Amino acid sequence: MVFSESATAPTSFPDPATAYIHVPFCAHHCGYCDFAVSTGTEHLIDLYIEALGAELATLGHPRPVESLFVGGGTPTHLSATQLERLLTLITHWFSWPGDLPHAIPPEQWSPAFSLETHSQPPFHRLSPPIRGPEFSIEANPDSLTEEKAAVLAAFGVNRVSIGVQSFQPRLLNALDRQHRPEHVEAAVAAARRYIPVVSFDLIFAAPGSTQADWQADLETALTFQPNHLSTYGLTYEKGTPLWKQRYRGAIIPVPEDDELAMYEYAIDRLTAAGYEHYEISNFAQPGFRCRHNERYWANEPYYGFGVGAARYIQGVRELNIRDTQLYIRRALAGEPTIFQREVLPPRERAFETIATQLRWAEGIDRVRFHQRTGFHLDELASTVIARLRELGIVEDNGHCVRLTRRGRCVADAAIAEFLKEA
């Protein structure tokens, strides 16, 4: 391999092909959550949607994207009417390239919208796996109704990610979740009627949980045959109620070895069930990877709108303010909503690309890495690669460097080793 003396980092960046829109409202603030969330503020929802519209208008003109992701918070905490308004704004400012079945124009179905008329929205003409654009939304089991699912589908939403977390009341209590297991069945039925792709989020290693609990949760999840599963070990984010309880000794976390065993069980069970383990925490039926998140893991640029949202455009990373009322005031007054702005130097950007791409099953492709960052991978990290290869943490076929199964179990530590070279 010939190393460049100094990297020629790309001076122009592609426009983002993906956008994230944040909806902060939740019925209840779960004890482990440190997202930008707002509870007991339903009176602000309509204003927030208009503020979001004002921030979207800073785009100046509609932009073509290949994926949209509406996350939160709980977007489905909004009423069907509020979802209509939100999606009208989003689909005004973002469009799919080409003539793809995207949305039923609101004037064709509002106000006389009926579930019967739209029980087969146009997106259903695309048989899964979905090709073309991906339009995802996050939902909670107790707030995804048939009426809302129909509205989502009418605007082209074709993927719903449901925050199931566990099917056991005891563990839902331990996680301080508000929904009950029985809500999941109704939410999945509503989603399946209108939205072709269903994903579940599950959490393992809740306080007091055992390997048997986790196995039972996975088995129940599999009975629903979700197209995609995200499995996360519980993290105690500083400042959250669960973190405080742990700090006081009021709860004892699951031992690390047990948590690792749960993760390894998930890999074995879900791959045996036909799911592809395509990212450290993510599993998909063939053809059902989350393409929106894959763009993050490829460290590609993205738009971000809403309170607390991040964006990465032209090599600049920006973060919006996290206070919902302040966000509304500023956006509606036409003032900047940005809280933090960082221009990443090329070398830092290259290491960030290593950190994100290592999470992926494909790992880091040397040629694409050089094209994207201007650096040769080995110029930056040959010593770490050699050391981690000897330890069986990464494998290297000359073209790509990727985590082994063992490496996935210690992914954070492996990525930290790379970042020490930055």
> Which residues bind to ligand SF4, rule: CB under 6 A?
26, 29-30, 33, 35, 37, 72-74, 140, 163
Closest approach, Cβ 402 to ligand SF4, in A, equals 30
Closest approach, Cβ 3 to ligand SF4, in A, equals 45
Comparing CB distances to ligand SF4, the nearer of 37 and 154 is: 37
Closest approach, Cβ 307 to ligand SF4, in A, equals 12
Comparing CB distances to ligand SF4, the nearer of 37 and 174 is: 37
Comparing CB distances to ligand SF4, the nearer of 185 and 237 is: 237
Closest approach, Cβ 25 to ligand SF4, in A, equals 8
Comparing CB distances to ligand SF4, the nearer of 33 and 284 is: 33
User: For residue 382, how many C-alpha atoms fall within 13 Å in the half-sphere facing its CB?
Assistant: 8
Comparing CB distances to ligand SF4, the nearer of 72 and 121 is: 72
Comparing CB distances to ligand SF4, the nearer of 172 and 380 is: 172
Comparing CB distances to ligand SF4, the nearer of 35 and 265 is: 35
Six token digits for residue 337: 């909503």
Six token digits for residue 219: 């088995």
Return the residue nearest ligand SF4 (CB atom): 33
Closest approach, Cβ 74 to ligand SF4, in A, equals 5
Closest approach, Cβ 71 to ligand SF4, in A, equals 8
Closest approach, Cβ 224 to ligand SF4, in A, equals 19
